Structure 1
């Protein structure tokens, strides 16, 4: 009997280990499947879009963000089965806000002319324009684009949103206290109502890198890189990395403006490989590899629900403005060599 019991216990233990291993593998797969890469084009030395799309496919990257309706890139995406976030450039916002006809033309020229060969998933009406002088045009432009999308019969396939920086947060710690700044609140509250009524997500650009660089004493490097062993508690929830804390602060802020049903899509996140003290190849590889593995698990506030996330960016872009780090976020050099090895499978 003793031998039989030991055997049974051993089998149970083996089965438990196998189940846990399968669960972790499924979470890894969910993470990889929910991750895309931003295709920035602020460079004069990038490969042609046909080669870029081939590179996405060869690396099993099934989602892409495109910052303007570049006709050559959209043509290259035909038949690729890559899901696309398409941005409305900020220069178009005022015109689209003031003219439903302009919105109809924009959707006709940049969406309907390619659908369904190009699988648009979201239209991002502006990127990080809240709160600035263009912010007043975001919601009316979203409404006009939504009307045009609905007129085309695509409202169930393509969702209309806008992308915000985390500077819209007044309070981000602890995450349960997350709230929008006064300047952002008045703009975002009606936008959130729009998102709720259309069952669309809020797009958010989340960068633990900048949080660490701007306040290294309060934000340890390991906490930003997903490598910290320290647990920060917020009530019953435990946080082991800054990415989760930022995303959950955004969820808390959304709840405060009646947006508890709104999902967050992380429309940008990444780490530079050069140009700063902690902008190194090793740190960039660590952050992005851990990000891809992690997002399938959800956050403490939304556990088990994969976070759709877009790594910034596909290439180093030599014409980006700002500090040197801005030109070194790429996973690949313009000649398509990897800056470092990273897996999306």
Structure 2
């Protein structure tokens, strides 16, 4: 058992060296919905020791910021509830001063206003909060270094995604997204998107093959005009690009703010499928998509740890971690 564990750790280390060297930016999301997770400083040390190049934080945590100082790890930080930021400039300015400006040796890259809130009751607060935070960044001279955006979930925003060239946003989503896209264009910011072929396959097994979702199809599965698709990840992203183009967002870059595959909780949530998906995702994102070939896709894997309090509990949601809560790697990945 000790030898097996050693080789697992070595293989995982080789994987993460590849992550930092072979792709412009691969990060890992640091969720903390667990009552058995290591302390924040130990979790950040795990990022450093494995050369993980990026981290997504789902809240603004001073302990995490402190641990990240001087590391050069690219940081996404979320504003979970935009409502308190939407209409009071002083709130946004104080937040930027206390959480961003105070940690100038932390490599903040994106501030994400709301995660998967479009469409929904809180969606109306997103753009005003983004504007307030943008103004606050500008007031302290950080508007060029840090971009403000929001994060959407593909399963919640499409009216149509097949074929990719026919991608369109739903009317409910577009009511909020249209002015946000205008904001992103004006400020040169990307749109952050949570992309899970796992869920697309789970919800449409009659039309989607597991190989297509896992990047293991031996040949072209979907032909869309001159473009050919061999995996679902590319098809989802290009449907998003098509949808953006139709509403004036053709110049907006997509950052994949979450993507992963669980190792337990459903019939397709297995250790082997998760390993296959993750290893293929890592190797693939540096190549771009058929619509935008050769353009590396900034991608953040969900998630760092298995989280036993992720809702709903007792399901696949609790099994997305690259590491167990005791900091052991779950996958042996080689190239």
> Do they superpose with TM above 0.5?
yes
Does the CA-based 8 Å contact 1:44-1:318 persist in structure 2? yes
The answer for the alignment partner of 2:50 in structure 1 is 59
Does the CA-based 8 Å contact 1:66-1:85 persist in structure 2? yes
Cα distance, 1:336 vs structure 2 = 0.4
The answer for the alignment partner of 1:7 in structure 2 is none
Q: How does 1:79-90 map onto structure 2 within 5 Å?
A: 79-90=70-81
Does the CA-based 8 Å contact 2:269-2:316 persist in structure 1? yes
CA separation in 2, counterparts of 1:200 and 1:246?
Answer: 20
Residue number among 124, 134, 154 corresponding to 1:136 in the alignment: 124
The answer for the alignment partner of 2:326 in structure 1 is 335
Does the CA-based 8 Å contact 1:29-1:296 persist in structure 2? no
CA separation in 2, counterparts of 1:73 and 1:44?
Answer: 17
Does the CA-based 8 Å contact 1:34-1:295 persist in structure 2? no
The answer for the alignment partner of 1:189 in structure 2 is 178
CA separation in 2, counterparts of 1:223 and 1:111?
Answer: 41
Q: How does 1:68-147 map onto structure 2 within 5 Å?
A: 68-90=59-81, 93-115=82-104, 117-147=105-135
Which has the greater radius of gyration?
A: 1
SS of alignment partner, residue 278 of structure 1: coil
The answer for the alignment partner of 1:18 in structure 2 is none
SS of alignment partner, residue 46 of structure 1: coil
278-287 vs 315-324, which moves further: 315-324
Extract unaligned runs of 5+ from structure 2: 1-17
SS of alignment partner, residue 268 of structure 1: strand
Residue number among 228, 248, 254 corresponding to 1:238 in the alignment: 228
* TM-score (normalised: structure 2): 0.91
CA separation in 1, counterparts of 2:171 and 2:333?
Answer: 40
Q: Deviations over 1:39-75 (max 9, x none)?
A: 0011111111221122112222110000000111111
Q: Structure 1's 31 and 193: CA in aligned 2 closer, same or farther, altered over 3 A?
A: farther
Cα distance, 1:113 vs structure 2 = 1.2
Residue number among 259, 262, 265 corresponding to 2:249 in the alignment: 259
Cα distance, 1:102 vs structure 2 = 0.7
Residue number among 300, 305, 310 corresponding to 1:310 in the alignment: 300
* TM-score (normalised: structure 1): 0.89
Residue number among 198, 219, 229 corresponding to 2:187 in the alignment: 198
CA separation in 2, counterparts of 1:180 and 1:215?
Answer: 19
CA separation in 1, counterparts of 2:123 and 2:20?
Answer: 37
Cα distance, 1:28 vs structure 2 = 8.2
Does the CA-based 8 Å contact 1:269-1:310 persist in structure 2? yes
Extract unaligned runs of 5+ from structure 1: 1-26
Residue number among 199, 203, 224 corresponding to 1:210 in the alignment: 199
